[in-house]
Amino acid sequence: MLCALRPDYVMIGSPNNLHLAHITAALQAGCRVFSENPVVITFEETWAAAELLRQYGQEHFLVGLALRSSPLYRSIPAGIAAGRSRWQSA
């Protein structure tokens, strides 16, 4: 599918234990990768991912960090608890 479609980027949002296999497939198909974190989950997968970066170059690989640490996302539970029905500042 990757070879046939040739997407600009492949978003890796699968279960964490499948990330490395999906990243590998995408890079081997010549695609750039955007992966959610955690990128990999074991020590061995970390070394395998490092080898992929060495082989394909880091310009083909982006990582998105979880937004749960951002102020906006941390404020959502408080807004819900306060009964806000629309997004508004506190």
Integer-rounded Cα Rg, in Å, for the chain is 17
Write the DSSP assignment of the chain as a string of letters.
Answer: -HHHH--SEEEE-S-GGGHHHHHHHHHHTT-EEEEESPS--SHHHHHHHHHHHHHH-GGGEEEEPPGGGSHHHHHHHHHHHTT--S----
pLDDT per position as a tens digit, 40-90: 999 999 999 999 999 999 999 988 876 666 676 677 777 777 776 555 554
Residue ranges of domains in the chain, CATH in brackets: 2-81 (3.40.50.720)
Q: What pLDDT is stored for residue 26 in this prediction?
A: 95
- What pTM was estimated for this model as a whole? 0.71
